[in-house]
């Protein structure tokens, strides 16, 4: 028997989407090396389900869904048949270089019982432009490959996924084009609309995760977050787009922090 076949580790994949059929087709095509693909559809009205079915995915329907993919992922992680699971959004796609690297390196990674997830280089696009900076585009890595027994997912927007205590992460270094392409936002309108949806529950989710902030923290972050996004994360490299994204990040962080602060104040008053 071929030794390479013996060493191969089967991988499951989870993709959660809603009305992103065109991007979904590209995403799923880059997961051909996975042993199974579970697609969670959040009540799409386009051809997303047809695309997933055509590409032999196991399709799950969620007519009642939360504002982010964590809500479906927290359910589907218990339905996969393999220990190692790749989790992607429909607007993400693995380059061929990264696909091959994951298949090649996972057997040796999996030998370390302390490793619970794997991070890969993450490249953001705004429209057709590859971002060079901002908190979204500067030296980003994403944990996409997880061991289901060493990882937990809760239905919490942006903060629901984490390693269980006692386990560590492995990071695949960027070499050439071994990246996870994230075709993030098509235009300003979709960008603003999506992030307004995130803000709806983020304050409460952050509170539930144990985060707290003082009024001084709110004020400090109002000034710091623009500096972080535009200067430290080199948003200036993206010209006017970088300036807009940095200003938006400043606003988004401020609204999220205000929400977190108000929730804490309200709950304290109720307790008294």
pLDDT value at 2 more than 60 = no
* Partners of 173 in beta bridges: none
* 106-128 per-position pLDDT tens digit: 999 999 999 999 999 999 999 88
Residue 68's pLDDT band (cuts 50, 70, 90): low
Question: Between the ranges 150-164, 183-197, 220-234, where is the mean pLDDT highest?
Answer: 220-234
pLDDT value at 175 more than 80 = yes
Inter-residue contact 48 to 17 (CB < 8 Å): yes
Q: How far apart are CA 92 and CA 88, in angstroms?
A: 6
Inter-residue contact 254 to 222 (CB < 8 Å): yes
Least confident piece of the model among 94-103, 146-155, 173-182: 146-155
Q: How far apart are CA 58 and CA 49, in angstroms?
A: 10
| Over residues 152-170, mean pLDDT | 84
Q: Is 145 helix (H, G, I), strand (E, B) or coil?
A: strand
Q: Which residue has the higher pLDDT, 259 or 157?
A: 259
HEC string of 2-40 equals CHHHHHCCCEEEEEEECCCHHHHHHHHHCCCCCCEEEEE
For residue 70, the model assigns a pLDDT of 78
For residue 267, the model assigns a pLDDT of 85
Residue 6's pLDDT band (cuts 50, 70, 90): very low
Q: How far apart are CA 53 and CA 86, in angstroms?
A: 19
| Over residues 128-151, mean pLDDT | 94
Least confident piece of the model among 21-30, 67-76, 85-94, 168-177: 67-76
Inter-residue contact 90 to 13 (CB < 8 Å): no
Mean pLDDT score across all residues of the chain: 90
pLDDT value at 67 more than 70 = no
How many C-beta atoms lie closer than 10 Å to residue 250's C-beta? 20
70 Cβ contact list (under 8 Å, min separation 6): 153, 154, 155, 156, 157, 158, 160, 161
* Domains, the chain, ordered by start: 3-184 (3.90.550.10), 188-271 (no CATH)
Rounded to two decimals, what is the model's pTM? 0.81
Q: Which residue has the higher pLDDT, 161 or 95?
A: 95
* 223-262 per-position pLDDT tens digit: 999 999 999 999 999 999 999 999 999 999 999 999 999 9
Residue 194's pLDDT band (cuts 50, 70, 90): confident
pLDDT value at 149 more than 70 = yes
């Amino acid at each position: 028997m071929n030794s390479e076949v013996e060493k191969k580790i089967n991988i499951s994949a989870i993709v959660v989407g809603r009305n992103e059929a065109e991007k979904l087709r590209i995403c799923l095509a880059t997961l051909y090396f996975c042993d199974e693909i579970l697609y969670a559809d959040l009540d799409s009205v386009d051809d997303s389900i047809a695309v997933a079915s055509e590409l032999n995915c196991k399709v799950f329907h969620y007519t009642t869904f939360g504002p982010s993919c964590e809500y479906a992922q927290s359910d589907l992680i218990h339905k996969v048949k393999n220990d190692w699971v790749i989790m992607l959004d429909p607007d993400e796609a693995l380059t061929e270089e990264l696909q091959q690297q994951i298949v090649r390196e996972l057997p040796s990674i999996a030998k370390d019982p302390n490793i619970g997830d794997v991070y890969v280089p993450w490249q953001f696009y705004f429209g057709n432009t590859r971002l060079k900076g901002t908190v979204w585009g500067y030296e980003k890595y994403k944990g996409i490959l997880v061991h289901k027994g060493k990882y937990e997912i809760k239905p919490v927007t942006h903060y629901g996924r984490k390693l269980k205590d006692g386990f560590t992460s492995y990071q695949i270094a960027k070499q050439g084009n071994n990246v996870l392409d994230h075709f993030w936002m098509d235009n300003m309108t979709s960008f603003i609309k999506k992030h307004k949806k995130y803000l709806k529950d983020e304050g409460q989710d952050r509170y539930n995760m144990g985060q707290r902030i003082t009024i001084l923290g709110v004020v400090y972050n109002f000034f710091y977050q623009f500096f972080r996004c535009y200067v430290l994360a080199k948003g200036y490299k993206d010209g006017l787009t970088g300036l807009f994204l940095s200003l938006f990040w400043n606003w988004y962080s401020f609204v999220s922090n205000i929400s977190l602060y108000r929730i804490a104040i309200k709950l304290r008053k109720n307790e008294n």
